[in-house]
Structure 1
Amino acid sequence: MTVRKQIHLAAHVPGTDDTVRSDPRSGSPAEFASFAHLARTAERGLFDFLLVEEGLRLPEHKGRIHDLDVVGRPETLTVLSALAAVTERLGLAAAACTAFHEPYELARRLATLDHLSGGRAAWNAVTSPDARTAENFRRLAHPDPAGPPEAPDCAGTVRDPLARAAEFVQVARELWDSWSPEGTPRPFAYRGRHFDIAGEFTVPRAPQGHPVVIGSADSPQDRELAASAADVVLTRHGTPEESRAVYGDVKGRLAAYGRAPQDLRIMPGVSVVLGDTAAEAQERAATARRERISPQNAIVALERIWGVDLSAYDPDGPLPDIDPDPGSTLVRGRARAAELLAVAEMWRTLSREKGLSIRQTVIEASPRQSFVGTPQAVADELDELVRTDAVDGFVLLPHPTPGGLDEFVDRVVPLLQERGTFRTEYTGTTLRSHLGLPEPVWKG
């Protein structure tokens, strides 16, 4: 009997609002009930884990919080600790940027979550800080002229975020290994380019050895770090050919670190829209894109490309005939002048060729959902990508939040189970067991 390659599934709560506030199915992004509903649905669907983003700064525009965006984001690890009490098997993953935390503090909180949840904690080691978020963590540069060149600058940013991230993960693992499996602590000491710490770790060894570490594959440097230290890699959803290229690249780097291909899971973030027919699914997808781009949102999107105040423009009127201002604070840190001009010209061409207004152009240019179709068609596509080694699984971004995952669990998961490509029950209790990953060997 041929054993079918198993699909891994997870769900994702974004750090900024990705749901339509006017949709009556949308829940509050700050109330525990929203998180609990999504977590219970994911567990009912036998998902591997729920990933909650950090959301360290509220979305804003022209110096003011954009009132159509999120108006609150609770602290991630606190939310996940509460979710540990209302779930039994679901993995609980926290995104935490290595630029804005310290190894001892974060390793301690993650190990605590692993104990509270019985071995279900995971950490998405985010490595790309942005200048706006860094302003919430403003601190002066290292006072010692002979100090490390990677010390945070006056904006709170880190000059070499990937190098800091690699060392951060290494230090965290050493902290988790400072207790033996038998429960014996030992002092730790680490001195490197970015961190110089010593003492005693206060949390015994985690139930799954180390919390699962989640990395990214955005760049060759990210992929190398993931191959050396990650258990799961999040990727961008692309064509099957692009996905297979990334898959082969990341898996091909593992041998250099003494790791096997099955020691790492590669999972792109995706969105799914279902319908009883293909036409209904396409219409539902188009409706969702229109709901996301309100008249106000369309002007905001335009201002972020053009870099000038366009509030006087009619969202149902034509695009501006002026060029973008790349020096504007509205596009600070976003793109170079040539990139802004290229996007503006693409939008103008789109508007001219299809006779679109500002709002219609923004809707047309917005990203399409990853999978749109009947439950059977979506199940076929997901299975095909996993079977042909383009991915190991998928991280679903539900829309709307939190109820958008229910339909997938009710209509697609049973189809995957019928063909033998997805579990019908949890067979283990830890997140590592769900993912089929080995426990880390204690380095005593």
Structure 2
Amino acid sequence: MTRKQIILGHYLGGVNHSTVWSDPAAGSQIDFASFVHAAQAAERGKFDFFFLAEGLALRERDGQIFDQDVIGRPDAITVLTALAAVTEHLGLVATVNATFNEPYELARQLATLDHLSGGRAGWNIVTSSDAFTGGNFRRGGFLKREDRYVRAEEFLAVARQLWDSWNPDDIVADQASGTFLRRPDAGAFDFAGKQFTVNGRFTTPRSPQGQPVILQAGISSEGREFAAGGGPDAIFSPYHTLAEAQAFYRDIQQRAAPYGRAPKILPGASFVLGDTLAEAEERHREISRAQITGRGAQILLETVWNRDLSGFDPDGPLPDVDPTPDAPLFIQGRARIHPDPFATVAEWRAIAEANKYSLRDLAIHVFSRTEFIGTPTQVADRLDAFVQNDGSDGFIIGSHLTPTGIDEFVDKVVPLLQERGSLRTDYEGSTLRDNLGLTVS
């Protein structure tokens, strides 16, 4: 039986609760050397791409900046363009918001990255209806939530028209004069829609892979339809149990099939290794408590309760107060992923009671993203089984330690996946699209 090839991306921490800032081995979140180390390690492990998230505003809690945000987050396209010079095969994927940018400018930046990297650029398209974040931009948080994907879909259509405005033969060599000639209509575009009306000439010739690879995260009905109908080449999945992941996988593929599409499905994942399962589990407990401190646990739960929980003991029971979803946002700039706070809190209370969890224990249980714990062989077995059973097509691998945490995975797990034929031993193609087995949409 032919084995599915596992797609691997590496996600470098940044502004989040999963990075262990206090570890003596932790490096800078903004020094270029950190990005170089992580990207080159991923390339050594034959990963498909290196992925950077986006942070457009410093988050606030009750009007004060989050402690985690003091390190900031640099612009992803700028960082990835620099990394293009120190890598050869690794895809370079930037998260960029379609709500607060303009198609011509962003399409030009991504096309430039694609050229400079030899066809390795990718765009994780995200949206926002957050007026807090929007305050940093000219139009502010002007979009209603239901309009986010309307704009994103049209934004992507404009970008693709721009990328396709040059044909491969638009520049031809004139042997007589020894010069290169550009065909008269090269780069011409004219788009008129409800969101954008743009026309002119695109300055960047067609890139080595035709178009940057498009990725997207979205599990709402609107997000799934956008993913299926003509949006992304790959989708980030939030599901980590095999049954839930398989259901999401089937749903996306069934929605996409009428369009002749089969987007790749990629959940995020972390790992903890040990010489024995018991050692890995103990190490996981230590890392989890370093990731989510008592104060951090209070803040994470405040995103759902929408109220100050600093007066509740992290090592005591869950707060005995109800959430206040209709009050002004207590946490600003963090995505709200729980649409029904009352139902979420009821579910969490049941989990805490059944497991005798403290407030902090519950936060670790809910917010920890470490799914693969064990010896290198056990982790390789579980990763491979998840993909071969259509839970996903691969994973975005993160680590609690920046930037060297990925080294352990590359050195100990990757060779085992390669031995069983589930992961390449070398890059087959010259572009990100080639290595992912994708055609231009």
Partner of 2:279: 280
Secondary structure of 1:94 counterpart: strand
Deviation digits for residues 246-299 of structure 1 (CA, Å, limit 9, x no counterpart): 22222223332234x4xx322111111111111111112221211122232133
Q: Distance in 2 between matches of 1:15 and 1:103?
A: 26
Partner of 1:206: 207
Q: Is the 8 A contact 2:305 2:324 kept in 1?
A: yes
Larger CA deviation: 340-349 vs 285-294: 340-349
Q: How does 1:291-330 map to 2 (within 5 A)?
A: 291-329=290-328, 330=330
Partner of 1:147: none
TM-score by length of 1: 0.87
Larger CA deviation: 359-368 vs 234-243: 359-368
Counterpart of 2:97, as a letter, is: C
Shift of 1:402: 1.5
Secondary structure of 2:199 counterpart: strand
Shift of 1:317: 4.5
Counterpart of 1:284, as a letter, is: R
Partner of 1:19: 19
Shift of 1:351: 5.2
Shift of 1:204: 0.7
Partner of 2:8: 9
What is the aligned counterpart of 2:149 among 149, 162, 166?
162
Q: Distance in 1 between matches of 2:349 and 2:244?
A: 28
- Alignment gaps of 5+ in structure 2: 172-182
Larger CA deviation: 412-421 vs 264-273: 264-273
Q: Distance in 1 between matches of 2:66 and 2:9?
A: 29
Shift of 1:124: 0.7
Q: Distance in 2 between matches of 1:290 and 1:379?
A: 25
Q: Is the 8 A contact 2:13 2:19 kept in 1?
A: no
Partner of 1:238: 240
Secondary structure of 2:114 counterpart: helix
Deviation digits for residues 31-75 of structure 1 (CA, Å, limit 9, x no counterpart): 111111110110000000011111111232111112244521111
Structure 1 stretches of 4+ with a deviation exceeding 6 A read 332-338
- Taking a change above 3 Å as real, the CA distance of residues 202 and 340 of structure 1, as seen in their structure-2 partners, is same
Q: Distance in 2 between matches of 1:88 and 1:400?
A: 24
Deviation digits for residues 301-325 of structure 1 (CA, Å, limit 9, x no counterpart): 3444444434344444454443333
Partner of 2:160: 173
- Taking a change above 3 Å as real, the CA distance of residues 328 and 380 of structure 1, as seen in their structure-2 partners, is same
Secondary structure of 2:281 counterpart: helix
- Taking a change above 3 Å as real, the CA distance of residues 241 and 365 of structure 1, as seen in their structure-2 partners, is closer
- Taking a change above 3 Å as real, the CA distance of residues 309 and 107 of structure 1, as seen in their structure-2 partners, is same
1:99 aligns with 2:99: yes
Partner of 1:73: 73
Q: Is the 8 A contact 1:97 1:129 kept in 2?
A: no
Q: Distance in 1 between matches of 2:353 and 2:391?
A: 37
Q: Distance in 2 between matches of 1:265 and 1:403?
A: 27
Q: Distance in 2 between matches of 1:87 and 1:110?
A: 17
Secondary structure of 2:405 counterpart: helix
- Taking a change above 3 Å as real, the CA distance of residues 439 and 166 of structure 1, as seen in their structure-2 partners, is closer
TM-score by length of 2: 0.88
1:121 aligns with 2:91: no
Secondary structure of 1:160 counterpart: helix
Deviation digits for residues 73-119 of structure 1 (CA, Å, limit 9, x no counterpart): 11110000000011111000011111011110110000000001010
Partner of 2:219: 218
Partner of 1:144: none
1:289 aligns with 2:288: yes
Q: Distance in 2 between matches of 1:37 and 1:334?
A: 29
- Taking a change above 3 Å as real, the CA distance of residues 119 and 385 of structure 1, as seen in their structure-2 partners, is same
Q: Distance in 2 between matches of 1:168 and 1:382?
A: 35
Partner of 1:431: 432
Q: Distance in 1 between matches of 2:275 and 2:418?
A: 20
Q: Is the 8 A contact 2:62 2:331 kept in 1?
A: no
Counterpart of 1:246, as a letter, is: F
Partner of 1:30: 30
Q: Distance in 2 between matches of 1:299 and 1:422?
A: 40
Partner of 2:135: 135
Deviation digits for residues 156-196 of structure 1 (CA, Å, limit 9, x no counterpart): 66650111111111110100011111234242110001000
Q: Is the 8 A contact 1:108 1:202 kept in 2?
A: yes
Partner of 1:247: 249
Shift of 1:411: 0.6
Counterpart of 1:30, as a letter, is: I
Q: Distance in 1 between matches of 2:312 and 2:100?
A: 39
Q: Distance in 2 between matches of 1:224 and 1:346?
A: 28
Deviation digits for residues 327-382 of structure 1 (CA, Å, limit 9, x no counterpart): 33315797799943444445555555655544344334433522111111111112
Q: What RMSD over aligned residues (CA atoms) do the two structures have, in Å?
A: 2.6
- Taking a change above 3 Å as real, the CA distance of residues 257 and 365 of structure 1, as seen in their structure-2 partners, is closer
1:392 aligns with 2:379: no
- Taking a change above 3 Å as real, the CA distance of residues 276 and 136 of structure 1, as seen in their structure-2 partners, is same
Q: How does 1:29-68 map to 2 (within 5 A)?
A: 29-68=29-68
Secondary structure of 2:38 counterpart: helix
- Taking a change above 3 Å as real, the CA distance of residues 235 and 305 of structure 1, as seen in their structure-2 partners, is closer
Partner of 2:178: none
